[in-house]
Structure 1
Amino acid sequence: MFYCNTSSAQVPIGQWREHYPYFKTLFTQSSEQKTYCATPKVLLIYNKSDHDLRRISTINGLSDVEISAMIYDTDNEQLIIGYKSGNIDFIDRFDKIYNLPSLKNSNIIGSKEIKQITFQSGLAYVSSGIGVIVLNTQKREIKDTYLYGPMGIQMATVSVALHNGYIYAATELQGVYRAPLTAPNLADFNNWSKIPDLPNVNYSHLFTHVGNLYANIKDPDYWKSDSIFVFNGSNWQISSFLAGEKNYSFRNSENKLIVSHRDIVRVYNENLQEIDFFYTFSGIQPQPNDAVLDNSQYLWVADRNKGFIKIDPNKNAEVLTPNGPLGENNFSLSSKKGKVWMLPGAWTISLGGMFRIEGIHLFENNEWKTFSREGSAALDSVYDLVRTAIDPSNSNKAYFSSWGRGLIEWENDKEIMVYNNINSTLKPRPEYYWIGVGDIKFDKKNNLWITNAHVNECLQLKTSNNQWKSFNLFPYCNSSKGFVHLIIDDNNQKWLFNQRGNEILVVDDKASYDDVSDDNIKLLTKSEGNLPAGEEIYCAEIDKDGKIWVGTDQGVYVFFSPGSIFSENNDKGQQIYITQDGIVQLLLETEAVTAIAVDGGNRKWFGTAKSGVFLMSENGTELIEHFTRENSPLPSNAILSIAINDATGEVFFSTDKGLVAYMGTATEAKQDCNDLIAFPNPVKEDYTGLIAIRGLIGNSEVKITDTAGNLVYKTTSFGGQVVWDGKWPNGEKVATGIYIAHCAAPDGSKSCPVKILIAAQNQ
């Protein structure tokens, strides 16, 4: 199946945007003017009057990722958001955000996750991993904390309800507790007692409706029904209400109870009689996580598969979900000619399979497309897609490697062929049927080279005329070795990287594919190739000068002269020395480097397992940027993959908590200046961002002047782009008017101008 929606326009230089999936939504709340819907990482805000839909994430205001609870505070006209980390945000009616990080930043040991929030009489009762947190919502501060377990121990609390003068707290597998609201000190555990009538099971909700109190017990099996207990004023009893249903949320609205079930939304009156239901709307089969009914009788649904849904009183549905990839896993990124491919498959630490079947994601022209198994026979049978190779001669054609089922050939948004051991030379693992294709790369003659893991024939070739060749490299390759990464250097030598064995196998086939007797083969190890003392090789990349950069569990190693690897004075892996804060040290020596990308200016982007992203200079000795979860919109410091859109310079970061991108300052260089543009253009006089001149010949000299010829700015391009801050050398902003960027190739052979208009506000 193919999914496609409109996406946002290109972002300015130096700015971020998220590329999260929006099809899985968790919660929804509604006010008079707005309706809110939360995904795990983004808050969607729909304005009921002008129908505008806004997205708020860590990029533009949210303090955290992994939203876990949400409630609307009608008294103070604000939304309260809780996170798995214990963080809390308040968003007022003007969308201004106030953060309360007290619980997150506390020294409390254990989970601080906020499970639910209950609001009553100006106070918000927060069910958290430690107990009940009480918020004064007007002051936006913590008023009290109830550690009500025996001897005051922490209790993982999933839901809170207030009923007939008591506060009730449901726990994870430890029963339900209550205390009188008139108790002098609810922070004293002695005022709390466990309810003996209720079992120690997995509760999901406490809720009230027309004077009654209910407790929903959630069966962990998706296909099994929940159970509900009701309190009759003196004891608890099993209720027949909602028997046979799986329940996801309970919301009250004007004596109506709105319940989200596994695949239907039902509305009940004060007598618990069903008065309406929504099992399909405008052809949409719901899988609701949450639903609310507003004063205008519009139903708003947070759906597990379709996202944010608006249903009018006539049951006409409108899907409000923004464009994004359909899937949460983003293991591998690849980009070429303005297209960015994202694949969900992965391997485990021991190089086992993850068996992910989410499909293929493509970002092109500011729009995500997802190709899923419902519309593709290949994607229905192939799992764990891990690497992409884009055909150099046809940007509409790509190949995807599967860590278990071979290779997919793809063209014009559909599969052409699935290659396995039947129709190619690919080999399954000897012990069982499993074809692990780890990496795929094109050489300069459009031949596709393939690593085939855990077999003797670990190097495979599909020629440009569709002939297959197999290279038996035993004993270097065998069933115990997983050569999963591949680099083809400027001398057409193949570098195969054994991720778990800390080995590099270099093969020079001398372009004689049918004669292996003249091949040069060399195995680089800790002793032979000066490889690091660690055990893992996570990634490798070749830069624009032909150097090979290798990411390991002990930093970065570089092969400066790969062409000499078979000579007597062969090139061995070397580490880079840098000076940081006056101290000489090895580049990222304490980091596990999990991803490497080279931008248009030949600068190096390094992703790490725990410390975010580093942008280093061309030779790796100067730190230019260091982005982390703490100082940037990165959702996590664990980086899985990095890819750069060569057309725009946008740098995509795949993390274990989602995909974001940063608009970088370097693009790929051009051979001419036919595509030269300035962006943005025209530039409003109050604009404070960077102005980009894109489409340059590499290392162009750029001089910006006013119309009188006065020099305003001079620089040399990083690849195919330069940026200008719109100021004179003294830091003063330029006046409105026309400015000319004179762009000259480094050898002076070509010169191209581009005009930039700095426009007044009223223009």
Structure 2
Amino acid sequence: MIKQITAFLFFCLVSVSNAQDFSALWEGYYSYNHIKDIVKGENKIYAAAENAVFSYDVSTSGLETITTIEGLSGETITTIAYSDTYGTLLIGYANGLVELVSGTEHKVVSVVDILDKQTIPPNLKRINHFNINEGQVYIATDYGISVYNLERLEFGDSYFIGNGGQHINVNQTTILNGILYAACGNGNAIRTADLSNPNLIDYQQWRTVGNGSFVAVEHVDNRLFAVKTDQVVYEIRNGAFTALFNYSSMPLDTKSENNTLIITTQNKIYVYNNNFNLLTTATLTAEYDTQFTSATVSGTQIFAGTKNFGVLRSNDANSTVFEILKPEGPLMNDAFKIEASNSTLWVTYGDYTESYNPFPLRSYGISHFIDETWNNIPFDCLLSAQNLNYIAVNPFNPDQVFISACQQGILELNDETAVMLMDHRNSGLESMRVPSSPSTIAVRQTGSIFDRNGLLWTLTCRVDKALKSYNPSTGEWRGYSFKEIIPDAFNDELGFGDIAIDRNGTKWIGAFHKGIIGYNETGNKIKNLNSEVQNMPSTEVKAVAIDNSNQLWIGTVNGLRVLYNTTGFFEDTNASVKEIVVLDDGIPQELLANQYITDIKVDGSNNKWIGTLDAGIFCFSLNGQQTIYHFTVDNSPLPSNFIKDISIDAQNGKVYIATSRGLLSFTSGGSSPKEELSDAYVYPNPVRPEYNLLGETSLNDINKGVKIKGITENVNIKITDIEGNLVAEAQSRVNLRASRSSYNFAIDGGTAIWNGKNLANNIVSSGVYLILISDLDSFETKVLKLLIIR
């Protein structure tokens, strides 16, 4: 009788993609507090955080990071392993992706076979463990075991070892005396098979040892150990199980390293020799409010991964005293709001639902990035302010920061120290009144922004005077009622989010039901747009931004709109918003039609940066007609296409992008125009032979080409040779640095970029070139000289 074979050859050849290195223009700011796994490599310790990795050199004490900037995917990491033979770090992910990192430059190869395999359910693709043996990697997953060859970079067989060849969860594998052991969950015990058997894809070639569910199996020398879900570690000998120790909590990690067995529980690490004699332990003390997640040893030192402190290093001679090892980074990866100002960045992690419900309340700290250093302020130092969200930095006193708390009011900080939590008792803020529970106190603050005069404008959800102003200099509060358009503050409108102020002093507010609201206290004027007749694609407005032309850009859950006539808005009896229509291969299309827009920011060049729920981030030209950038997880270091927030530092043009899986910045190259040309300059100057980045077809990389900075808003720039022959020419608002343009010379706000090509599209020769700048409004001129050496 022919046996039915239900397992299969996974793939003959591996499907790989070589990741790009984005380090030139991008910076990543990942959190390294929560360690998923830790392993020992060649004179290094590797620690995997949620979606990034760092190494610690035990000789030099140096720290080095590997992130999406170097080419990692940014997905959720579940396990790592290191091959000394191949000098390769293996990274496994929850979605089935495997990445190989090798070399001093951290070359990343993505292995997508498991991720892309259609016949395996997505919820079973999690990578649980790597077992490296003689160049073969036995990958334990939630569907079974797959074998990967590190020498040939290709997959071999996959073993579906459940009864009848079904998928079963394999947590860990080990090999002893030519036998492969698999620790299985869900009552599938330990499964074993002889590696010499050429037919292991047949589930009937596998034997079952013991009973129940196992989380780990490992060997030290010739002794085999297994950890069961009953919190007991057993020795397995000749198929018999001998209980060795019962732990007070479930072991979370089991490793064999340097002839020792390392077992990690949430508050203690045990290191045993091959006879299961306890060599040393490491124990958490009250000083460290965290839990262990994993551990390894190097010499006499224990390196422990934790949930909140990164890696703790301890000597076995004093295993309750630790040194914290981790790179600089924010508290968490899932930022909610960010605010860049004066070359610093503030980050909050509070949250509320789409309908502005703050529950469950989140008790998180905040982060401040200043002087290239992260200062993380814990919740205990924030006066119990929960659900911290919008950040407003006082433009006249940058050390004074106000952060909205969606339940308790507004937190004021001075020099990073919380000095006051303002609420209905000590400020002009007010609590919403719940008809069914009059005693309920809830001061739900959301959007906050400073105007040019130094007044703080802030929004309170579900109260009549939803808009309030606060003067930090005098302590004066004023409230402004929305009763004209929201008769019942508690029931008619659930909340407000974004707020922007135009040059006329009108406050533009995004609401949940009422669409876009305009309010100006001069004359107490209020009006809103939220209907299809007014061309609103949705009543839910998530983002508002005023551009440099005083036009209002509106992001809804169902598309983008622009209000061009902000000045005459209140007087216009037929006010409506407009969609932007662009030509896509000659066919008119609505820009960002049906997209859920999460944020809009305007840079110094009047370009629009627009974040979306699932399509990444876009940068459009000033009128939206040209796409300058469109970044996604597929073409950039973004770890997620869900953009939570965007903030642009006006001083350096750096664009900060908060995603659901991490925070990054992008050096776009644009800058704010200057008032006059007196400070205009060109760099690099001279252009030396080693500067071989001329002649690029795209001007979007600010690290390439020749830059002219400090120009005014509306200029014409001519480049000539020393004899006066025209070499290149560009004009503001005409020669835009957009992805669809093919200019050799373009202007982006206060910066012009030239790729060194002449009008005939050839790279210019060595010589002196004149840069003639003319302001088209003021008629001011300036001449710069540039030397090119080739």
TM over 0.5: yes
Deviates more, 1:550-559 or 1:260-269: 260-269
Contact map agreement 1:327 1:358 (CA 8 A) in 2: no
State the distance in 1 between where 2:70 and 2:567 align.
47
Q: Deviations over 1:575-594 (max 9, x none)?
A: 11111122211111131111
Quick one: which of 326, 331, 345 aligns to 1:326?
A: 331
Shift of 1:648: 1.6
**Matches of 1:541 and 1:630, distance apart in 2:** 28
* Conserved? CA contact 1:198–1:236, under 8 Å: no
Q: Secondary structure at the match of 1:190?
A: helix
CA distance in 1, matches of 2:757, 2:88: 41
Pair 1:273-2:273 in alignment: no
Q: Does structure 1 residue 473 correspond to structure 2 residue 486?
A: no
Counterpart of 1:629 (choices 633, 655, 660) is: 633
Report if aligned partners of 1:652, 1:660 keep a CA contact under 8 Å in 2: yes
Taking the aligned partners of 1:317 and 1:644, their CA distance within structure 2 comes to 39
Equivalent residues in 2 for 1:698-717 (5 A)?
Answer: 698-703=713-718, 713-715=728-730, 716=732, 717=747
CA drift at 1:734: 6.0
Give 1:655 shift: 1.1
Give the deviation of 1:615 after TM superposition: 1.4
Following TM superposition, by how much is the alpha carbon of 1:50 offset from its aligned partner in structure 2, in angstroms? 5.8
**Which residue of structure 2 aligns with residue 5 of structure 1?**
none
Q: Distance in 1 between matches of 2:234 and 2:682?
A: 65
8 A contact 1:403–1:438 mirrored in 2: yes
Report the 3-state secondary structure (helix = DSSP H, G, I; strand = E; otherwise coil) of the residue aligned with 1:585. strand
Question: How far does residue 246 in structure 1 lie from its aligned partner after superposition?
Answer: 4.8
Q: Which moved more, 1:228-237 or 1:133-142?
A: 228-237
Question: Which position in structure 2 is the counterpart of 1:151?
Answer: 164
Q: Which residue pairs with 2:750 in the alignment?
A: 720
Contact map agreement 1:476 1:505 (CA 8 A) in 2: no
Q: Deviations over 1:436-468 (max 9, x none)?
A: 111112233322221110122212221353211
Q: Mapping of 1:172-183 within 5 angstroms? A: 172-181=185-194, 182-183=196-197
The yes-or-no answer on 1:214 pairing with 2:225 is yes
Deviation at residue 288 of structure 1 after TM alignment: 3.8
- Is 1:494 the counterpart of 2:494? The answer is no
Structure 1 residue 320 displacement after superposition: 4.5
Q: What do residues 453-507 of structure 1 show as CA deviations (whole Å, max 9, x unaligned)?
A: 01222122213532112233334451132123323233222233222x2523332
Aligned to 2:651, which of 638, 641, 647?
Answer: 647
Matched position secondary structure for 1:65: coil
How far does residue 141 in structure 1 lie from its aligned partner after superposition?
Answer: 1.3
Alpha-carbon RMSD: 3.2
1:458 and 1:477 in contact (8 A); partners too = no
- Count of matched residue positions in the alignment of Structure 1 and Structure 2: 726
Between the aligned partners of 1:173 and 1:544, the Cα distance in structure 2 is 61
Q: Which one of the candidate residues 397, 400, 403 is aligned to 2:403?
A: 400
Corresponding residue for 2:540? 536
Q: Name 2:17's counterpart in structure 1.
A: none
Whichever residue aligns with residue 519 of structure 1, its letter is N
Counterpart of 1:579 in structure 2 is 583
Is the CA contact 2:511–2:539 (under 8 Å) kept in the aligned structure 1?
no
Name the residue aligned to 1:507: 519
The one of 368, 377, 384 equivalent to 2:374 is 368
Per-residue CA deviation, residues 543-569 of structure 1 (Å, 9 max, x unaligned), is 111111111122101111122222244
Question: Which residue of structure 2 lines up, in the alignment, with residue 188 of structure 1?
Answer: 202
Matches of 2:22 and 2:716, distance apart in 1 = 22
Paired residues of 2:509 and 2:544 also in contact (CA < 8 A): no
Using the alignment, how far apart are the partners of 2:450 and 2:671 within structure 1? 22
Counterpart of 2:476 in structure 1: which amino acid?
Answer: Q
CA distance in 2, matches of 1:128, 1:632: 28
C-alpha distance 742-173 of structure 1, shift in aligned 2 (>3 A)? farther
Offset of residue 595 of structure 1: 1.3
1:80 aligns with 2:90: yes
Matched to 2:49, the amino acid is T
Q: 1:44 is matched by which residue type in structure 2?
A: F
Native 8 Å contact 2:340 2:656 kept in 1: no
CA contact (8 A) 1:36 1:43 kept: yes
Give the counterpart letter for 2:467 in structure 1: L
Selected match of 2:116 from 78, 97, 105? 105
**Any conservation in 1 of the 2:226–2:234 contact (CA below 8 Å)?**
yes
Structure 1 contact 604–617 (Cα < 8 Å) conserved: yes
Structure 2 counterpart of 1:515: none
Per the alignment, residue 50 of structure 2 pairs with: 40
Residue identity in the other structure for 1:418 = L
Deviations 1:36-95 (A, max 9, x none): 222222222445566554322222233553222111123333222212221222233454
Aligned residue type for 1:698: E
In structure 2, the CA distance between the partners of 1:372 and 1:713, relative to structure 1 (3 Å rule), is farther
Gapped regions of structure 1 (runs ≥ 5): 1-10, 220-225, 511-517
Q: Which of 652, 655, 664 is 1:660 aligned to?
A: 664
Q: In structure 2, what residue type is equivalent to 1:209?
A: V
Secondary structure at the counterpart of residue 490 of structure 2: coil
Q: CA deviation at 1:401?
A: 0.7
Cα distance, 1:741 vs structure 2: 5.5
Following the alignment from structure 1 to structure 2, what is the Cα–Cα distance between the partners of residues 495 and 601?
A: 22
In structure 2, give the amino acid aligned to 1:16: W
- Unaligned runs of 5+ residues in structure 2 are 1-20, 435-439, 694-702, 733-746
Q: Distance in 2 between matches of 1:438 and 1:587?
A: 28
Q: Counterpart of 1:326 in structure 2: which amino acid?
A: L
Q: 1:204 to 1:696 in 2, by over 3 A?
A: farther
Deviates more, 1:55-64 or 1:540-549: 55-64
Distance 1:96 1:472, change over 3 A: closer
Query: Would the aligned equivalents of 2:385 and 2:405 in 1 still touch at CA under 8 Å?
Result: yes
CA distance in 1, matches of 2:610, 2:63: 35
Who is 2:699 aligned against? Answer: none
SS at match of 1:25: coil
1:566 aligns with 2:532: no
The answer to whether the 8 A contact 2:171-2:183 is kept is yes
Aligned to 2:450: 442
Separation in 1 of the partners of 2:387 and 2:563?
31
- Contact 2:448/2:499 (8 A) holds in 1: yes
Identify the range of structure 1 (405-414 vs 74-83) with the bigger mean alpha-carbon deviation. 74-83
1:296-375 equivalences in 2 (<5 Å): 296-308=299-311, 319-353=324-358, 354-374=360-380
Aligned match of 2:530: 525
Question: Distance in 2 between the 1:137 and 1:13 partners?
Answer: 27
CA shift for structure 1 position 205: 2.3
Letter in 2 for 1:360: I
Q: Displacement of 1:184 after TM fit?
A: 4.1
Of 417, 427, 432 in structure 2, the residue corresponding to residue 414 of structure 1 is 417
User: Residue 645 of structure 2 contacts residue 658 of structure 2 at CA under 8 Å; is this kept in 1?
Assistant: yes
Query: Aligned ranges for residues 14-33 of structure 1 at < 5 Å?
Result: 15-33=25-43
Give yes or no for the alignment of 1:427 onto 2:442. Answer: no
Worse-matched range after superposition: 300-309 or 633-642: 300-309
How far, CA to CA, are the matches of 2:290 and 2:531 in structure 1?
56
Of all paired residues, the percent bearing the same amino acid is: 26
Q: Is the CA contact 2:383–2:420 (under 8 Å) kept in the aligned structure 1?
A: no
- For the Cα contact (< 8 Å) 1:699–1:720, is it kept in 2? no
Counterpart CA distance in 2 for 1:542 and 1:367 is: 31
* 388, 393, 402: which one aligns with 1:390: 393
> Structure 1 residues 466, 713: CA separation in 2 closer, same or farther (over 3 Å shift)?
farther
Q: 1: CA distance between counterparts of 2:133 and 2:23?
A: 45
Change in 2 beyond 3 A, CA 1:150/1:718: same
Whether the 8 Å CA contact 1:14–1:665 is kept in 2: the answer is no
2:11 — aligned with what? none
Cα separation, 2, equivalents of 1:740 and 1:313: 68
Aligned to 1:7: none
Q: 2:464 aligns with which of 456, 473, 494?
A: 456
